[in-house]
Amino acid sequence: MKSHRWILMFFLVFMGSLLILPCAFADEKEIKIGVLYPLSGAAAAIGRDLQRAAELTADIINNGAPGVDIPMAQWKGIPNLGGAKIKLIFADHRGEPDRGADLAKRLILDDKVVGLMGAYHSSVTKTVSAVAERYGIPMINDSSTSPALTQRGFKWFWRATPHDEMFNKDLFELLKGLTEGKVKGVKAVPKKELQNLAYACENTEFGSSVAKSIENYAKEYGFNIVTKLLYSANAPDLTSEAKALVAAKPDAMLFTSYLSDALLMIRTLKGMKAQTKFFWGQDAGFEMADFAKTLGTDIDGVLTRTVFIAKVTKVKKVAGQINAIYKKKYGDDLTGATARSVVGVQTWAYALNQAKSTDPKAIQKACNELNIPAQELVMPWAGVKFDETGQNILGRGLIGQYQKKSDGKIDLEIVYPFELATANFIYPFPGWK
Interatomic CA distance for residues 103 and 97, integer angstroms: 10
pTM of the model: 0.81
As a whole number of angstroms, the distance between CA 320 and CA 311 comes to: 9
pLDDT above 80: residue 333: yes
Kindly report, residue by residue over 41-70, the tens digit of the pLDDT. Answer: 988 999 999 999 999 999 999 999 999 999
pLDDT band for position 325 (cuts 50, 70, 90):
very high
User: Residue 278 in 3-state DSSP?
Assistant: strand
**Helix 239-248, helix 259-271: angle, nearest 10:** 60
DSSP 187: P
Reported as a single tens digit per residue, the pLDDT across 224-237 is 999 999 999 878 99
In the predicted structure, residue 27 carries a pLDDT above the cut 50: no
Q: What mean pLDDT do residues 1-28 have?
A: 44
- If 0-12 CB within 10 Å is exposed, 13-18 middle and 19+ buried, where does residue 357 land? middle
Task: Identify the pLDDT of residue 157.
Answer: 98
C-alpha R_g of the chain = 24
Q: What is the mean pLDDT of the segment spanning 268-285?
A: 93
In this predicted structure, the answer to whether residue 394 has a pLDDT above a threshold of 80 is yes
Q: Which residue has the higher pLDDT, 162 or 12?
A: 162
| DSSP H/E element including 49 | helix 44-63
Whether omega before 190 lies within 30 degrees of 0, making that bond cis, reads no
Among candidates 124, 147, 251, 138, which has minimal Cα distance to 199?
Answer: 251
Where does the pLDDT of residue 4 fall: very low under 50, low under 70, confident under 90, or very high at 90 and above? low
Mean pLDDT value of segment 249-258:
94
Instruction: State the chain's mean pLDDT as an integer.
Output: 91
Q: Which residues contact 38 (CB under 8 A, 6 or more apart)?
A: 44, 46, 47, 92, 93, 94, 95, 119, 120, 121, 124
Q: For the domain bounded by 165-306+397-420, which CATH number is listed?
A: 3.40.50.2300
164: confidence class by pLDDT, cuts 50, 70, 90: confident
| Ranges of CATH 3.40.50.2300 domains, the chain | 29-162+339-384, 165-306+397-420
Which pLDDT score, from 0 to 100, does residue 283 have?
A: 77
11-44 burial: b if 16+ Cβ within 10 Å, else e: eeeeeeeeeeeeeeeeeebebebbbbbbbeebbb
pLDDT at 17 exceeding the cut of 70: no
User: Which CATH number is associated with domain 29-162+339-384?
Assistant: 3.40.50.2300
pLDDT at res. 5: 53
Q: Per residue in 173-197, pLDDT tens?
A: 999 999 999 999 999 999 999 999 9
